[in-house]
Structure 1
Amino acid sequence: MIRRLRLPASIISCVLLGLAANTWAAAESKPPSGKIMKWVDEQGVTHYGDTLPLQYSGKTNSINAHGLPQTETSNPSPGNSESGKESEQAKRDRTLLAVYSSEQEIDLARDRNLQMDQVMLEGLEQRKLSALSRVQDLKKEEAGYLKRSKAVPEELRKDLKFATQDIGKIDEQISERKQHMDTMRLRFENDKKRFIELKTGVPASENTSPAR
């Protein structure tokens, strides 16, 4: 036999009012546009909500009613990118004037930076000479076996192969080091030209002294 539990009318009314309040609150919490905003804070934590904090405005992500992500990017004014470049150039100019007081100091800084690269380059060239000498010795040993009509040992073949490959790797490192040094020289040369422009107020193209 099943007994039916009868609740007082006051309790039933409270339950119905609670359900109605929850339904109203859920309806109010939905964004009017049907989109949920997504943003990432300074700690890299992703947040979701119907209202985007002001400090995260600009580029945000939203999720539409179908659960698909949407990207919303505020249109930058045409002058923003240009002003950013100018600001970066102004920063570099201030650094140049703060670090150096003459063209000679720029040349000295260039030489100091190149000194370590030069030491490394000389070390690579010494390694290459040693590798070349080893390859020559291995080839002589190989020729001795061939002259006596004997089979060249597999270990000798491997040593010769690895020694030859080592020379190729050293050549690549030498080329990369030289390229790095050329890039550094060019950077310091450009810094010196800009330094002269800032000091004299004359563009580098017009500040070149005529050849004697």
Structure 2
Amino acid sequence: MAFSALLAALLLAAGSAHAAMYRWVDGNGRVHYSDTLPSSYQKNGAAEMNKQGNIIRRTQSEAERRAEAERQSEQKRLLQEQNKQAQLDRALTSTYTTEAEIDLARDRALEHHKLAIKGAEIRGKAVDANLADLRTRIAQIEKAGRKVGEGLTEQLEQATREQQELKRTIQSNEEAMEKVREKYAADKVRFVELSGKQ
């Protein structure tokens, strides 16, 4: 009864003005009614009511606004992914007509990396031979009790750096080849899926 009287008094006090009536709950769980929403409670959300005490609009809490923003962001991300996949599908079906064509494209893409690896391996053999020769000469000089010249030390360091760089080149191309194989394998699977849908 007291609650109804309070609500009626608040509604009468509002008169015929167009000011909104708000309902909010404080930190102790008490319900409050007012024609203005305290700024300290705006982040917690509130309900705007009409003169009859019916809720006409609900203000979202900060947590609800955050959750809504995250939901919209996720929806946008999913839509972008769907659009990107549709674009990739169109490119796939317009580029290839058979699975064999995909295999041919994969082999062409791998050829560049194979040549880079072969070139690095050939050069690597020459560098390895040079390093072996340099180390033999340095060992002979040290065995004779003489000092190794700066030029010879620099040649050894340079050859060692080149050997390491060639190993990196081989490794990076092998990794790239694996990615190429994975990409074309995935393209092939998707092509078969799309072909089955048509």
State how far apart, in whole Å, the 2-side matches of 1:168 and 1:162 are: 10
User: Greater shift after overlay, 116-125 or 140-149?
Assistant: 140-149
1:108-167 deviations in whole A, cap 9, x for unaligned?
000011111111110011111111011011111112212322211121112112211221
Matched, 1:128 2:124: yes
Matched, 1:178 2:170: no
Instruction: Provide closer, same or farther for how the CA distance between residues 78 and 166 of structure 1 changes in structure 2, counting only shifts above 3 A.
Output: closer
Structure 2, unmatched stretches of 5+, are 1-68
Instruction: Provide closer, same or farther for how the CA distance between residues 147 and 172 of structure 1 changes in structure 2, counting only shifts above 3 A.
Output: same
Task: Give the AA of the match of 2:94.
Answer: A
State how far apart, in whole Å, the 2-side matches of 1:82 and 1:150 are: 71
1:33 is aligned to: none
State how far apart, in whole Å, the 2-side matches of 1:172 and 1:78 are: 39
Matched, 1:155 2:135: no
In percent, how many aligned pairs have the same letter?
30
1:98 is aligned to: 94
SS across alignment from 2:195:
helix
SS across alignment from 1:171:
helix
Matched, 1:195 2:191: yes
Q: RCO higher in 1 or 2 (8 Å CA, sep ≥ 6)?
A: 2
SS across alignment from 1:151:
coil
- Cα offset, 1:79, TM superposition: 3.2
1:59-70 equivalence runs, <5 A: none
Q: TM-score, normalised by structure 2?
A: 0.60
State how far apart, in whole Å, the 1-side matches of 2:130 and 2:88 are: 49
- Cα offset, 1:78, TM superposition: 5.5
1:1-212 equivalence runs, <5 A: 76=72, 79-201=75-197
Instruction: Provide closer, same or farther for how the CA distance between residues 161 and 81 of structure 1 changes in structure 2, counting only shifts above 3 A.
Output: closer
State how far apart, in whole Å, the 1-side matches of 2:74 and 2:116 are: 47
State how far apart, in whole Å, the 2-side matches of 1:190 and 1:163 are: 41
2:62 is aligned to: none
- Cα offset, 1:185, TM superposition: 0.8
What CA RMSD, in Å, does the superposition of the two structures yield over aligned residues? 2.0
State how far apart, in whole Å, the 1-side matches of 2:171 and 2:110 are: 15
State how far apart, in whole Å, the 1-side matches of 2:72 and 2:125 are: 58
Task: Give the AA of the match of 1:127.
Answer: R
Report how many aligned residue pairs link the two structures. Answer: 129
